[in-house]
C-alpha cells in the first residue's frame, strides 16, 4: 500500500471520532500503529503538524510530501508544518532549530503565530512554529475532560503545568482555586492567555514560576492543602534554576511523596506520563509507597483516546483517591 493510501486509511478510521467530538484537534496518524514507524500527524483546526523521527522513518521525502499535500487538501488545511525530532533534543542543528521557528510551512501558506483550537468546548491557543511542541498534548484530551468533571469545589494543584491545559479545565469545572506551577515564565504567560481565551478570570487562581519540589516546600510552609493534584512531568529535563537534571524514573518517588503530603484526606491524584520505560504497574506501586499508611483507592486507569490506537505504552495515566 502506498504512503498516501496508508495515511488516508488512518484518517478515515478516525472519522467517527472527528464527527462525534466537540473538538477540532486530533492525531490523524500514529506511527507504527497506523503503518509507518516514526511518523505522526496531528490536525490543529486548519493546520497540520507532521512529526518525523528520522531514526525510524524510512520513506522517500518526495513520497511523503505528495501524501501530505493530498491530506492537506482533503482536510482543507492551510498549511503543513514539519517537526524533525533528533535522538537528543539537546543536540539540535541550527538548521532544524530555525525550521521549527519559521512561519514558512513545509506545504501550503504561512499561518498566524498563534491560533485557537477547540477541545470539548474549551479553547486553547496553539503555536504551530514555536519549537518542537505546539502548546498542548492531545494524549491528555480525555484526562482534561476528567479533571473538568471532578474539579467542582476543589483546590487544585497543577504541577509541571506547561501552558495550563489542565488548569483551564479545572477552573472551567468550578475549582475554587487552581495553582499552576512551571519553571518557564513563557509557558505560564501562555497559560494565562488560555484562561483569557475561555473568558475565565485568573483572579483566585495562581501561577508560580518554580521547581515543583521547591514549590512543595513553599506550600508546606504556608500550610497550603489541596483536594486535587495533577502531575504530568517530563520524562527528562535539564533545568537551569535550580541547576540540575530531572529524570522521571529517578525522581518519581520524591515527586509523589511531596504531592501526597499536600493532599487532604479524600483528595485525588492524577499521574500522567509519556515515558515509555515507566510501566503503569510501577506508577501505581510508587503511588502506594508514597501514600504510606493512607488508604489508596484506584479510581481509574484511563485508556488513551481512540486517535492513539494500538500503542498503550505511548502514554499512561492513573487516578487515585487518598484517604
Report the CATH number that the domain containing residue 34 is assigned in CATH: 3.30.750.80
| Residue 118 in domain | no
Query: Cell for 163?
Result: 501552558
Please indicate, yes or no, whether residues 216 and 251 belong to a single structural domain of this protein.
Answer: yes
Of 111, 127, 146, the residue at which a domain comes to its end is 111
| Residue 124 in domain | no
Please indicate, yes or no, whether residues 187 and 306 belong to a single structural domain of this protein.
Answer: yes
Please indicate, yes or no, whether residues 145 and 98 belong to a single structural domain of this protein.
Answer: no
What's the pTM value of the predicted model, to 2 decimals?
Answer: 0.95
Please indicate, yes or no, whether residues 50 and 98 belong to a single structural domain of this protein.
Answer: yes
Please indicate, yes or no, whether residues 104 and 162 belong to a single structural domain of this protein.
Answer: no
Please indicate, yes or no, whether residues 284 and 157 belong to a single structural domain of this protein.
Answer: yes
Task: Please state, in angstroms and rounded to a whole number, the distance separating the CA atoms of residues 131 and 31.
Answer: 20
| Residue 131 in domain | no
| Residue 310 in domain | yes
> 140-160 as b/e, with b when 16 or more CB fall inside 10 Å?
bbbbbbbbbebbeebbbbbbb
Q: Using one digit for the tens of pLDDT, what is the confidence trace for 183-227?
A: 999 999 999 999 999 999 999 999 999 999 999 999 999 999 999
Please indicate, yes or no, whether residues 67 and 182 belong to a single structural domain of this protein.
Answer: no
| Residue 165 in domain | yes
Task: Please state, in angstroms and rounded to a whole number, the distance separating the CA atoms of residues 25 and 42.
Answer: 7
| Residue 130 in domain | no
Q: Using one digit for the tens of pLDDT, what is the confidence trace for 132-158?
A: 999 999 999 999 999 999 999 999 999
Please indicate, yes or no, whether residues 167 and 236 belong to a single structural domain of this protein.
Answer: yes
Q: Using one digit for the tens of pLDDT, what is the confidence trace for 290-299?
A: 999 999 999 9
Give the model's pLDDT for residue 242: 63
Please indicate, yes or no, whether residues 270 and 171 belong to a single structural domain of this protein.
Answer: yes
Beta bridge partners, 25, equal 44
Of 69, 95, 111, the residue at which a domain comes to its end is 111
Please indicate, yes or no, whether residues 86 and 142 belong to a single structural domain of this protein.
Answer: no
| Residue 198 in domain | yes
Rounded to the nearest 10 degrees, the angle between the axes of helix 3-13 and helix 61-74 is 40
Query: Cell for 86?
Result: 533528533
Give the model's pLDDT for residue 61: 84
What is the CATH number for 193? 3.40.50.150
Please indicate, yes or no, whether residues 167 and 202 belong to a single structural domain of this protein.
Answer: yes
| Residue 123 in domain | no
Task: Please state, in angstroms and rounded to a whole number, the distance separating the CA atoms of residues 146 and 170.
Answer: 9
Q: Classify residue 33 by its DSSP letter.
A: G
Give the model's pLDDT for residue 241: 64
Range of the domain at 243: 137-322
Closest of 232, 136, 221 to residue 180, by C-alpha:
232
Give the model's pLDDT for residue 100: 94
What tens-digit pLDDT sequence spans the chain (323 residues)?
A: 899 999 999 999 999 999 987 899 999 999 999 999 999 999 999 999 999 987 777 788 889 999 999 999 999 999 999 999 887 766 788 999 999 999 999 999 999 999 999 999 999 999 999 999 999 999 999 999 999 999 999 999 999 999 999 999 999 999 999 999 999 999 999 999 999 999 999 999 999 999 999 999 999 999 999 999 999 998 877 766 667 777 788 889 999 999 999 999 999 999 999 999 999 999 999 999 999 999 999 999 999 999 999 999 999 999 999 99
Please, are residues 262 and 219 in contact by the beta-carbon 8 Å criterion? yes
Please indicate, yes or no, whether residues 18 and 145 belong to a single structural domain of this protein.
Answer: no
Other Cβ atoms closer than 10 A to 321: 16
Of 111, 127, 148, the residue at which a domain comes to its end is 111
Q: Is the peptide bond before 200 cis (omega within 30 degrees of 0)?
A: no
For strands 47-52 and 79-84, give the pairing: parallel
Give the 3-state secondary structure of residue 272.
strand
Task: Please state, in angstroms and rounded to a whole number, the distance separating the CA atoms of residues 67 and 61.
Answer: 10
Q: How many domains does the chain have?
A: 2
Task: Please state, in angstroms and rounded to a whole number, the distance separating the CA atoms of residues 278 and 251.
Answer: 12
Task: Please state, in angstroms and rounded to a whole number, the distance separating the CA atoms of residues 49 and 32.
Answer: 17
Other Cβ atoms closer than 10 A to 279: 12
Task: Please state, in angstroms and rounded to a whole number, the distance separating the CA atoms of residues 3 and 281.
Answer: 36
Rounded to an integer, what is the distance from CA 103 to the centroid of its chain?
Answer: 23
Amino acid at each position: 500500500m502506498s504512503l498516501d493510501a496508508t495515511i488516508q486509511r488512518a484518517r478515515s478510521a478516525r472519522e467517527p471520532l472527528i464527527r462525534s467530538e466537540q473538538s477540532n484537534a486530533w492525531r490523524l496518524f500514529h506511527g507504527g500503529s497506523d503503518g509507518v514507524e516514526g511518523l505522526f500527524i496531528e490536525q490543529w483546526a486548519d493546520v497540520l503538524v507532521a512529526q518525523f523521527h528520522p531514526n525510524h522513518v524510512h520513506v522517500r521525502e518526495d513520497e511523503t510530501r505528495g501524501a501530505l499535500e493530498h491530506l492537506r487538501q482533503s482536510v482543507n488545511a492551510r498549511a503543513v508544518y514539519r517537526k524533525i525530532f533528533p535522538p537528543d533534543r539537546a543536540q539540535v542543528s541550527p538548521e532544524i532549530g530555525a525550521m521549527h521557528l519559521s512561519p514558512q510551512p513545509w506545504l501550503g501558506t504561512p499561518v498566524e503565530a498563534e491560533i485557537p483550537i477547540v477541545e470539548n468546548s474549551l479553547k486553547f491557543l496553539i503555536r504551530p512554529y514555536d519549537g518542537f511542541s505546539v502548546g498542548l498534548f492531545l494524549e491528555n484530551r480525555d484526562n482534561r475532560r476528567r479533571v473538568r468533571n471532578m474539579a467542582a469545589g476543589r483546590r487544585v494543584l497543577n504541577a509541571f503545568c506547561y501552558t495550563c491545559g489542565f488548569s483551564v479545565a479545572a477552573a472551567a469545572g468550578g475549582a475554587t482555586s487552581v495553582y499552576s506551577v512551571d519553571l518557564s515564565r513563557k509557558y505560564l504567560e501562555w497559560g494565562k492567555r488560555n484562561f483569557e481565551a475561555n473568558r475565565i478570570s485568573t483572579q483566585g487562581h495562581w501561577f508560580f514560576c518554580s521547581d515543583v519540589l521547591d514549590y512543595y516546600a513553599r506550600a508546606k510552609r504556608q500550610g497550603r492543602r489541596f483536594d486535587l493534584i495533577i502531575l504530568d512531568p517530563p520524562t527528562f529535563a535539564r533545568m537551569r534554576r535550580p541547576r540540575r537534571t530531572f529524570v522521571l524514573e529517578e525522581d518519581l518517588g520524591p515527586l509523589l511523596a511531596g504531592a501526597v503530603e499536600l493532599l487532604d484526606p479524600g483528595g485525588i491524584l492524577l499521574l500522567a506520563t509519556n515515558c515509555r520505560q515507566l510501566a503503569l504497574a510501577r506508577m501505581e506501586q510508587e503511588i502506594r509507597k508514597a501514600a504510606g499508611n493512607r488508604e489508596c483507592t484506584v479510581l481509574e486507569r484511563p485508556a488513551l483516546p481512540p486517535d492513539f490506537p494500538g500503542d498503550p505504552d505511548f502514554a499512561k495515566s492513573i487516578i487515585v483517591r487518598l484517604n
